[in-house]
Amino acid sequence: GDSVTQMEGPVTLSEEAFLTINCTYTATGYPSLFWYVQYPGEGLQLLLKATKADDKGSNKGFEATYRKETTSFHLEKGSVQVSDSAVYFCALSERNQGGKLIFGQGTELSVKP
């Protein structure tokens, strides 16, 4: 079945450091890909998305490119801030499956001043 694998956390960075959180997926079809973020004490929020190969999703300085050849959707940010500390989830959704999301296990990011 479909699955999503993320790099294990926690990831600890200093402010202004470069961030990469790896995400790879297995899918039988041609899914849409998402990154969700969960800030402490809050619900899941959509961070960015991509729906076809080579699409780049971006939001709040974060970017991820849909790489079909490597089945990857790595999250990057050039300069992290303390306020980026959160848990990040990679997810996929196959077409014709009613919008059901399959999530990775999440990667906790902690940014120190």
The burial class, CB within 10 Å (0-12 / 13-18 / 19+), for 80 is buried
Candidates 86, 106, 109, 111: give the one binding another protein (CB under 8 A). Answer: 106
Cβ closest to another protein, residue 17 vs residue 108: 108
Candidates 12, 20, 45, 79: give the one binding another protein (CB under 8 A). Answer: 45
Kindly indicate which of the ranges 13-21, 40-48, 69-77, 78-86 contains the residues binding another protein, using the contact rule CB under 8 A. Answer: 40-48
How distant is the alpha carbon of residue 17 from its chain centre? Answer: 18
Please enumerate in sequence order all residues whose Cβ is within 8 A of that of 56, keeping only pairs 6 or more positions apart, or say none: 50, 63, 64, 65, 66
11 binds another protein (CB under 8 A): no
Candidates 23, 86, 93, 111: give the one binding another protein (CB under 8 A). Answer: 93
74 binds another protein (CB under 8 A): no
Binding region for another protein (CB under 8 A): 4, 32, 34, 36, 42-46, 49, 51, 89, 91, 93, 95, 97-106
